[in-house]
Chain A
Amino acid sequence: MPTIAVDAMGGDHAPGEIVRGVAQVSLTTDIECLLVGDERRIQDVLESVPYNPEHISIVHARDVVGMADDPHEALKTRKDASLFVGIRAVVDGRAGAMVSAGNTGAAVLGCARHFRLIKGIKRAALASVYPRSTEYAGQDPLALLVDAGATVRCDADELVQFALMGSAYARRISKVPSPRVGLVNMGSEETKGGDALVDAYRRLRRIPALNFVGNVEGHDLVRGRADVIVCEGFVGNVVLKLVEGVAEVFGDVARAAAQRRVSWRLGLALLSRELERLRELTDYTQYGGSPILGFEQLFIKCHGRSNARAVANAVKVAAKAVRDRVPAEIADAVALFR
């Protein structure tokens, strides 16, 4: 079973929720977790919850990168922070992947500093899954968005590589044999969106190993037209936050309606099962985290607000990615294209 390093001190609810998540994983799987952070604080939380000590070890790290810290500054001055100690544990081979709910910028920079890019890859990408409607039975209810914010502006080369990486990841993790890849644009015609997008479109269409379905517009993102959505980090981050925000607004609207009229409350009660399904579908905690793709090593970035369930699922996703040799799959895909 793979060993997963977990940054115990990163995230809004660290170390409590992070350690609880790892404790849950230790009871239900054979995954070994390397908790990185303040040993005393980790141990205090661990002893207050059910856990299996056979699957947990602790690596002490005396420093922490705060959520509001400047990533560049943190990389320079906080070498003993749990985030960087964990990344180095992966580099040393003590763990197969790293999971953190901490500072995203510092995580990306830490990976760039310590991990090695896969041969041929220019820039890493943060991939993220989000719920969408499906077009056919058996289609994965989650789409993969690449990039969700690691590379703010991209050229055509980078977009093509994101498509290859996303497709390889979806093949391994979502078990979609030939994932449909779409390029986010402001129109479906290949001439739309400026030079980088037009060039990327033409090159993606020429890659036989890729199931490229063309440009996808905003309204397609929540439909099942594509399994892998490719865009630059700036756009990806906006899309992701928008999806999250809309889901939260639905919840707020329903709550407000229920408070206003008894008949609406009754209606919502009748719809409660469906609403619960909707809530589950849009609940980020069940999807684990977002992989940073493009490195020879794996890093799963969780939401900063992650609770124990989200951390546990992120650890499981990381273990699956290690077992299924995702970096090797990406390397093979990129090598074929070169």
Chain B
Amino acid sequence: MRRLRRRTPPALPPLLCRWDLDKTYLRSEFDSLRQLLRTAFERGEDKVDVPGVAALIKAIKAAAERRGRGALVHFVSASPPQIGRAIRDKLALDGVPYDGIVFKNQLANIRRGKLRNLREHVGFKLVELFRGRLAAPAESRELLFGDDWESDSLIYSLYADLLACRLDADAVVPILRRIGVDPLLVDEAVALAGRAAGPDAVDRIFINLERRTPPATFRLFGPRVVPTFNYFQTAVVLAADGVLDAEDVATVARSLVETAGYAPRGLENSLHDLVRRGAVAPPAAERLTAALRPAGVLPPLAASPGRWRRIVATFARLRGRRRAADVAAARSEPAAIDYEAILARLRPGAADAEGRRA
């Protein structure tokens, strides 16, 4: 008798999630000197997290565990290590599991007279991302989380392209110099990139639109960068990518409804917004909607419409699918990122300075 051999599915590579802290995890307010000082002296219990972020990190960990894959959560912050204790207290209070946290040693910059480095984070973050990569399992897939306050989309995209060898040292050095990155950090980043380069490991870059920056601003970065208005949207994209299950999305949604006053209708609108922007395919959105509605996080369907209305609604849905598919196809065209255009848009000062020097 032939024995049936059960095939075990191939083990999923571990997941490496890197998070920015301020404005991505924490609702830090440092627009004025007073706010900056207050932030510096805040205790863990005073700090406020962005709604849904803690639930999302826990959901990513839980989903990875269910899939039998490891999930590492690392925080990379440009804040000084002096506030590290308050941050760790806050993460403990939120029950957020994490595997590493890195701060920027601002005192060292002051001691070395590198005052420009106090405000310039691109070099620091790039170096820390490569260091973290080298310390993680080589086959790890990466998800990067940032915000629209500084240059997270630029830093993460440079990192992803250097890692995947889409960008070489000759191309990146002038870019970093134009941004004003410390030459020592430029050399270090290039050296680390050389050691880490190989896999195209960054699957998604999520940008939390804390400042409500128009999403079109991020089109220059290509479809890998997904700007999201809330962490429900982030969870939906992760579910569509197969990182989370519908139950995880429901958990994130529930935390937003229960702790931040979100309404099911608002969440449904957020989901539709993602579909219109081409970040989630209509079939995936429909599957999720079908699972989330019974969970009570999306509004219930109106009373069953008549036969003709149902037919009309079906046609409308199909039309919507086609429109959304067109948008998704147009926006998912793989194209090399034009960093010149990005710098001209995000850092016009850097571009002008370079022009004058030339």
Question: From DSSP, what is the main secondary structure of chain B's interface residues?
Answer: helix
A51 to B272, CA, bound (A): 14
Binds B, one of A54-62, A294-302, A329-337: A54-62
* CB-defined contacts of A27 to chain B, threshold 8 Å: 212
Contact of B212 with A48 in the complex, beta carbons under 8 Å:
no
Contact of A52 with B229 in the complex, beta carbons under 8 Å:
yes
Shortest Cβ distance from residue A152 to the other chain B in the assembled complex, whole angstroms: 37
Contact with A along B173-189 (1 / 0, CB 8 A): 00000000000000000
Shortest Cβ distance from residue A217 to the other chain B in the assembled complex, whole angstroms: 50
Contact with B along A13-42 (1 / 0, CB 8 A): 000000000000001000010000001100
A53: CB under 8 A from chain B?
yes
A52 to B323, CA, bound (A): 22
A51 to B266, CA, bound (A): 13
A47: CB under 8 A from chain B?
yes
Shortest Cβ distance from residue B311 to the other chain A in the assembled complex, whole angstroms: 16
A53-B269 contact given A60-B316, A60-B320, CB 8 Å threshold = yes
* CB-defined contacts of B273 to chain A, threshold 8 Å: 53, 56
Q: How many residues of A contact B (CB 8 A)?
A: 18
A286: CB under 8 A from chain B?
no
* CB-defined contacts of A49 to chain B, threshold 8 Å: 214
B80: CB under 8 A from chain A?
no
A135 to B230, CA, bound (A): 50
Contact of B216 with A51 in the complex, beta carbons under 8 Å:
no
* CB-defined contacts of B320 to chain A, threshold 8 Å: 39, 60
Contact of B269 with A54 in the complex, beta carbons under 8 Å:
yes
Contact with B along A51-87 (1 / 0, CB 8 A): 1111111101000000000000000000000000000
B47: CB under 8 A from chain A?
no
Contact of B277 with A47 in the complex, beta carbons under 8 Å:
yes
- Of A32, A39, A53, A60, which is within 8 A of B270 by CB? A53
Determine the residue in chain A with the shortest Cβ distance to B263.
A54
- Of A48, A53, A60, which is within 8 A of B216 by CB? A48
Shortest Cβ distance from residue A20 to the other chain B in the assembled complex, whole angstroms: 11
Q: How many residues of B contact A (CB 8 A)?
A: 25
* CB-defined contacts of B319 to chain A, threshold 8 Å: 60
A178: CB under 8 A from chain B?
no
- Of A32, A43, A54, which is within 8 A of B229 by CB? A54
Contact of B270 with A40 in the complex, beta carbons under 8 Å:
no
* CB-defined contacts of A251 to chain B, threshold 8 Å: none
A51 to B216, CA, bound (A): 12
Q: Which of B226-284 contact A (CB under 8 A)?
A: 229-230, 233, 262-263, 265-267, 269-270, 272-273, 276-277
Contact of B214 with A54 in the complex, beta carbons under 8 Å:
no
Contact of B214 with A57 in the complex, beta carbons under 8 Å:
no
Determine the residue in chain A with the shortest Cβ distance to B278.
A43
Contact of A55 with B269 in the complex, beta carbons under 8 Å:
yes
Contact of A54 with B267 in the complex, beta carbons under 8 Å:
yes
B64: CB under 8 A from chain A?
no
- Of B212, B265, B266, B327, which is within 8 A of A50 by CB? B212
B213: CB under 8 A from chain A?
yes
B300: CB under 8 A from chain A?
no
Contact of B213 with A39 in the complex, beta carbons under 8 Å:
no
* CB-defined contacts of A56 to chain B, threshold 8 Å: 269, 273
A23 to B212, CA, bound (A): 11
A55 to B216, CA, bound (A): 19
* CB-defined contacts of B229 to chain A, threshold 8 Å: 52-54
Shortest Cβ distance from residue A100 to the other chain B in the assembled complex, whole angstroms: 21
A43 to B274, CA, bound (A): 11
For the complex of A and B, 7 pairs with smallest distance between CB atoms: A54-B266, A53-B273, A50-B212, A47-B216, A48-B216, A47-B215, A43-B276
* A to B CB contacts below 8 Å, 23 in the list: A32-B266, A39-B323, A40-B323, A40-B327, A43-B276, A47-B214, A47-B215, A47-B277, A48-B214, A50-B213, A51-B214, A52-B229, A53-B270, A53-B272, A54-B262, A54-B263, A54-B266, A55-B269, A57-B269, A58-B272, A60-B319, A60-B320, A60-B323
Q: Which residues of A contact B (CB under 8 A)?
A: 27, 32, 39-40, 43, 47-58, 60
Q: Which residues of B contact A (CB under 8 A)?
A: 211-216, 229-230, 233, 262-263, 265-267, 269-270, 272-273, 276-277, 316, 319-320, 323, 327
| Beyond A51-B212, A58-B276, 11 additional pairs, beta carbon < 8 A | A27-B212, A32-B266, A40-B323, A43-B277, A43-B327, A47-B214, A49-B214, A53-B233, A54-B262, A54-B266, A54-B269
